[in-house]
Amino acid sequence: MEVDRGGCSLFGVMDESGKRFSGAQATSAIAKMQDRENGLGGGFAGYGIYPRFKNCYAFHLLYDNEKAEESTERCLEENYSIEKAEPIPTRKKTTIENPPLLWRYFLTVKETKANSEPGQEDFVVSTVMKINGEIDGAFVISSGKNMGIFKGVGFAGEIGKFFRLEEYKGYAWTAHGRFPTNTVGWWGGAHPFGLLDWSVVHNGEISSYGTNKRYLENFGYRCALFTDTEVITYLFDLLARKYGFGFDVIGRILAAPFWDEIERLPESQREICKALRLAYGSALVNGPFATIVGHTGGIVGINDRIKLRPLVAARKGSMLYMSSEESGIREVCQSPDKVWMPEAGEPVVGRLEGAHG
């Protein structure tokens, strides 16, 4: 008899004090949950991993061919000063077949370009949208400062070893083991998905993808990576960075209560929830999901509004853990101070000491 294990595996860990630790921890935790994946995608995001280039935008690029690489580098050279460009270090793994060309660039926006846009971050977003949407065979995997995304086709534990994540240190890591249900397994379609310093790992299926995609297109976002998870990344960028909403408000938008539940809320909460549903109904993420979002200031975990996908959280001192299963947490923290199951739609927020949001 086939057992439904609830799909993909998620893991997130951070030290809220800002102390950096090896990516080996995330690799071990996600590998513990390998029975939740099928080898068609795994990936990681690390924060604080590039202190030498912390003021540069770190672009991780996936290329299908050298022509795509040449076209992308011309685009970057026109708009950015390239402080360093190099292949992303990897090690040979017999289980990882036919990897694409993997490069990273540490960039600063040319002053003339930055002044022509509302801000540097908007200029970087427009660059990512242009490359992903217009250069055939090139995909920007991550584009934030002092962070990076590493992902590919294979089991997550093997992907972590392929990218030599034990050689990096960061204050926060997220990880994903994929079990795709309605999209193909390819390198760009593995999780996390990123834009600027946002990264998203997700378990579930977004039935509102079409509505969300059309809503985001009104603000200049292009969904080019052929998976529903991409819209969650762009929604966080829009709602948090552009609109300045806190994660409690974002939770009420993405995982909004049902209308009958809103009617039973106290008056002050009822009016807020009504206003958010009316103003941002097209940003409601419908369908079963659990997601962990990383950003420079920390990590955030959230479930759908009726909790159809598992998410467990734990704390040990300044360490915060989130996982699809408690086994992933226990693999790297045998005696947590507290373990709990977050309520449906209730964000679990880890904040870097001194950060806001």
pLDDT(224) > 80: no
Q: CA–CA separation, 300 vs 255, rounded Å?
A: 14
pLDDT grade, residue 142 (50/70/90)? very high
pLDDT(4) > 50: no
Mean pLDDT of 210-233: 86
Q: Domains in the chain, please, with CATH?
A: 9-351 (3.60.20.10)
Q: pLDDT digits over 247-276, tens only?
A: 989 989 998 888 999 999 998 889 999 999
pLDDT grade, residue 114 (50/70/90)? low
pLDDT grade, residue 3 (50/70/90)? very low
Q: How far is CA 331 from CA 26, 35, 46, 229, 290, in A?
A: 10, 15, 19, 27, 20
Tell me, what's the pLDDT at 129?
92
- pLDDT, greater one: 103 or 208: 103
Tell me, what's the pLDDT at 115?
66
pLDDT(233) > 70: yes
Active-site residue set:
8
Q: pLDDT digits over 274-321, tens only?
A: 999 999 999 999 888 899 999 999 999 999 888 889 899 999 999 999
Tell me, what's the pLDDT at 171?
98
Tell me, what's the pLDDT at 118?
66
Q: CA–CA separation, 311 vs 135, rounded Å?
A: 37
Are residues 289 and 176 in contact, defined by beta-carbon separation less than 8 angstroms?
no
Are residues 36 and 156 in contact, defined by beta-carbon separation less than 8 angstroms?
no
Tell me, what's the pLDDT at 82?
97
Q: In the beta sheet, which residues pair with residue 198?
A: 195
| Residue 209, both tokens | 């993808």
- pLDDT, greater one: 67 or 255: 67
Mean pLDDT of the chain: 91
pLDDT grade, residue 206 (50/70/90)? confident
- pLDDT, greater one: 21 or 41: 21
Give percent above pLDDT 90 in the chain. Answer: 71
pLDDT(111) > 90: no
Tell me, what's the pLDDT at 2?
39
